[in-house]
Structure 1
Amino acid sequence: MMKKIVLPLLSALLFTGASAQAQQRPNIVFILADDLGYGDLGVYGQQKIKTPNIDRLSRQGMLFTRFYAGTSVCAPSRSSLLTGQHTGHTYVRGNKEIQPEGQEPLADTVQSYARMLQQAGYVTGAFGKWGLGMVGTSGAPDKKGFDVFYGYNCQRQSHRYYPTHLWSNNTRIDLEGNDLKQKKVYAPELIQQQTLAFIENNRSKPFFLFVPSILPHAELSGPDDQYYKQYEDAFPETPHKGNDYGPGALVPGYASVDKPHATYAAMVTRLDAYVGQILDKLDQLGLTQNTIVIFSSDNGAHREGGADPVFFNSSAGLRGFKRDLYEGGIRTPFIVKWPGKVKVGSRNAFIGAFWDLMPTFTQIAGAPRPPYTDGVSLVPTLTGKGKQAQHPYLYWEFHEDNGTQAVRMGKWKGFRKGVMKDPQAPLELYDLDKDPAEQHNVAASHPDIVKKIEGYMQEAHVESPVFPLTAH
């Protein structure tokens, strides 16, 4: 009898020990908003839109005040995020469309940190918008390290909240009742259900959950529910035809938006509610203490489809919006919660960017160090242990409107427009300590700083045959 009891007990103890050892590595949840401005959250100064769950996340963790997206539009910013390279090096540097569906795919030689986490034993899932390679191409989610993908593969499709279809891994999921005139199936809710199911299904394994939400990207649209009703009569409104998407518009036929302010506010609050549901699911499953949660946005606030970032002060007083390399186009909310590691309710002024996530995540997961990255690990800043490496500078490119380059070097910000026509165009220079809104170009007073930043621009940019910037 004793042997029959001891052997199963021993097996159980061994299994429990193995599970505990695996779970010593924290789960990683990265939630990425789409076109959410630096000032769209309560903790970053928003006065008109309610974001209680993200505000709570901030109170439980660390809020960064000088963190930056990969660039000021979707695909290249996400490429920078996943490859650990700034836009002078990363493969995808613009929103290059592929017909009939999809965008320029990441090359098969490009490694993402999702693949590195996968190889280190993490279960990996992505739920939301992809935009880095259609199903069957070298840039598809399953080719870049994700065990599970559910959502919009193509960015053009993600302009609609009631699309004709989504993708579940390599399977097309048709949404009956959705077309240019009908709105029956609200895609973000389907994606959220799959997100929560991923957490449930992988509770006993270390997992990396990437949630590239499409909220609050234009179009301005959504259900007439509690998120909308709380704002329905709150703001002055001017009806707006929602098919005006500005530069890069590709999908016509959007429905009219009678109350664009209320609709946009509801979209942000819905995103906030989805964040709250993820946090609650982690609590319910007892995973909170062993999970790092990060929230950010892919670029600055948009002005498309009737959105009004001036009304909401979505850039928090910073200059510019989406498609700008001024601060309002690239400075992003960045909040990290890591129980027992990150100081609760702290604020941090570290100057970092999306390419820092690759070395950070691989260090946290115990994965091999990346063979190459433009980033530095944020672990010393997050934990307060060890010396934090600093960037000598940060660099960005934007490949629309004749091309723009920007460099942040300490307090200085250098900005050059029209580089496709003139790679040596005059440089604008701003002292962000004295002039955070970038109103006073002081290039003429600091020729030495201008020269140094010009050197960094030349150093950082490696010409791409797929996305040429300075070649003629």
Structure 2
Amino acid sequence: MVCLALLWLCLYGAAQEKEGKLDGQRPNIVYILADDLGYGDLGCLGQDKFATPNIDKLAERGMLFTQHYAGSTVCAPSRSVLMTGQHTGHTPVRGNNKVPLPAESVTLAEILKKNGYVTGAFGKWGLGEVGSEGDPLNQGFDRFYGYNNQSLAHNYYPYHLWDDRQKISLEGNQGRSTGQYAPELIHRKALEFIEENKDGPFFLYYPSILPHAELVAPTAYMNRFKGKFGPEKPYKGVDDGPRYRKGPYASQEHPHAAFVAMVTVLDDQVGEIMAKLDELGIAENTVMVFTSDNGPHQEGGADPGYFNSNGPFKGIKRDLYEGGIHVPMILTWPGRVKAGSTTDHISAFWDVLPTVGELIGATVPDEVDGISFLPTLLGDEGAQRTHDYLYWEFFEKGGRQAVRMGEWKGVKYNVKKDPDAPLELYHLPSDIGENNNVADKHPDIVEKIEGILKEARTPSDIYRFD
């Protein structure tokens, strides 16, 4: 009995300590997900060809994560990982092939809604068409505005968007007209959601389509940057015919200027969200996150090499080298998260769900692969658990797998053709660019990672390496 009493007192004390740190608050949560923005595309992370003053200001107000990873190296599986808290060895959607998130998935939005949050998604969903089991309104969201279809989200002047389950025809874009820029329409709806739910708590999921190809920005933005990033190599895309605005990218005479214009639109929108939270007096009770779904792309005329968009890393979107999955992440929570702080805690998209669960005191599924990074946010590094490893798999380009295990990174390509393909091994602290394969010097590390590659995944009838 004495032992049980002591155990109860310890547990109660730990609970009281946590309650004391959080004061029983349930903060609003704003999660902004850029589309194909590289680690090196932010001023605060070294971009010197153009400016991102509002996102940089966000970093000044909060914590910059230097070792944060996307869920995948392409859009849909990265979002699935975020929503389910499961890495690509377990999450239901592991590729860009229009597989809907199944009804039985327990999503981040469902957990928040169950715990009293109003939930809204504004932008690109990509995890299920309207009316399917993966429809955001069937996955825990009270409100949706934007693109359900991932392919149509390639186009910035679409013929329609979805307002919940109502198809909204955009009359200003009929034919070849460019009267309604979708990111601006979506942004206004997101600001309205904040206004309408200012008394909280609310969860605003903002999966922007910026700066994904196609490379298109409003004229006012384009005029600011034309001629400043030469020489330009024009891109010839699809500008008419049956496939026009149905996925293929439009032509762009000034792809460098267009990319900068698009990132500037995104940066301005981040600034307007920050201003709205300040204006409503709710910034101090709002956790705000900014990140990207994967590394930079080179589609539609994009030129990540010119802008050094992947920073110090090798690879881009669709690679499992660092450039394809190592993404920026900034988190603010005034009065809770130290302003201007930086952490090298190794984290990934699948950590977001358990972090939110711990933050609001909610139960999370046993099947999640993530670890809460709340102790890192609150400055309690001694209480922060760490991953034994991070795991990714990707089924395009011959099949790829990767593992981050402490200081080590294992990468395997062409898995479909040769399941026994040799593992590449990199020591990231001394070789952040993954240029020096040291597999032959560390057979013990290679053997351990090879075991993880087999054990970290569950078989899938849809996503196969054979």
| Fold agreement, TM-score > 0.5 | yes
Q: Name the counterpart of 1:155.
A: 150
- Check conservation: 2:238, 2:250, Cα contact below 8 A: yes
One-letter amino acid matched to 1:465: D
The alignment yields a C-alpha RMSD, in angstroms, of 1.7
Q: Name the counterpart of 1:94.
A: 95
> Please, which of 312, 317, 320 is the counterpart of residue 315 of structure 2?
320
Summarize the Cα distance change of 1:179–1:35 in structure 2 as closer, same or farther, 3 Å threshold: farther
- Check conservation: 1:222, 1:267, Cα contact below 8 A: yes
Is 1:302 the counterpart of 2:302? The answer is no
- Check conservation: 1:22, 1:205, Cα contact below 8 A: no
1-structure distance, mates of 2:278, 2:408: 42
SS at match of 1:241: coil
Q: Name the counterpart of 2:410.
A: 414
> Please, which of 434, 451, 454 is the counterpart of residue 450 of structure 2?
454
Per-residue deviation, 1:58: 0.1
SS at match of 2:383: coil
Q: Name the counterpart of 1:197.
A: 192
- Check conservation: 1:23, 1:205, Cα contact below 8 A: no
Summarize the Cα distance change of 1:106–1:253 in structure 2 as closer, same or farther, 3 Å threshold: closer
2-structure distance, mates of 1:303, 1:168: 31
2-structure distance, mates of 1:144, 1:435: 41
Deviations 1:416-459 (A, max 9, x none): 01111222211000111111001111111111100000011111
Q: Name the counterpart of 2:84.
A: 83
Question: Matched residues, percent identical?
Answer: 57
2-structure distance, mates of 1:189, 1:339: 27
> Please, which of 227, 233, 249 is the counterpart of residue 227 of structure 2?
233
SS at match of 1:95: coil
Q: Name the counterpart of 1:144.
A: 139
Summarize the Cα distance change of 1:253–1:58 in structure 2 as closer, same or farther, 3 Å threshold: closer
One-letter amino acid matched to 1:383: L
Q: Name the counterpart of 1:429.
A: 425
Is 1:169 the counterpart of 2:164? The answer is yes
Per-residue deviation, 1:223: 0.9
- Check conservation: 2:111, 2:364, Cα contact below 8 A: no
Per-residue deviation, 1:179: 4.9
2-structure distance, mates of 1:451, 1:253: 43
> Please, which of 252, 256, 273 is the counterpart of residue 278 of structure 1?
273
Q: Name the counterpart of 2:19.
A: none
Per-residue deviation, 1:23: 8.9
- Check conservation: 1:243, 1:305, Cα contact below 8 A: no
SS at match of 2:429: coil
Summarize the Cα distance change of 1:277–1:405 in structure 2 as closer, same or farther, 3 Å threshold: same
1-structure distance, mates of 2:395, 2:136: 24
One-letter amino acid matched to 1:43: C
SS at match of 2:288: strand
Is 1:288 the counterpart of 2:283? The answer is yes
| Long gaps (5+) in structure 1 | 1-20, 97-102
> Please, which of 435, 440, 443 is the counterpart of residue 436 of structure 2?
440
SS at match of 1:114: helix
One-letter amino acid matched to 1:46: Q
One-letter amino acid matched to 2:421: A
Is 1:395 the counterpart of 2:376? The answer is no
**What pairs up with 1:107-126 in 2 under 5 angstroms?**
107-126=102-121
- Check conservation: 2:94, 2:394, Cα contact below 8 A: yes
Q: Name the counterpart of 1:347.
A: 342
2-structure distance, mates of 1:84, 1:118: 16
Per-residue deviation, 1:343: 1.0
One-letter amino acid matched to 2:219: D
Summarize the Cα distance change of 1:300–1:388 in structure 2 as closer, same or farther, 3 Å threshold: same
Per-residue deviation, 1:467: 1.6
Q: Name the counterpart of 2:258.
A: 263
- Check conservation: 1:358, 1:370, Cα contact below 8 A: no
- Check conservation: 2:119, 2:142, Cα contact below 8 A: yes
> Please, which of 456, 460, 463 is the counterpart of residue 464 of structure 1?
460
Summarize the Cα distance change of 1:447–1:22 in structure 2 as closer, same or farther, 3 Å threshold: closer
- Check conservation: 2:54, 2:270, Cα contact below 8 A: yes
Q: Name the counterpart of 1:182.
A: 177
2-structure distance, mates of 1:369, 1:242: 45
Per-residue deviation, 1:113: 1.2
2-structure distance, mates of 1:253, 1:95: 15
Deviations 1:136-182 (A, max 9, x none): 11100011110000000011110000001100111111111425633
Per-residue deviation, 1:34: 0.2
One-letter amino acid matched to 1:128: G
Matched pairs, number: 439
| Long gaps (5+) in structure 2 | 1-21
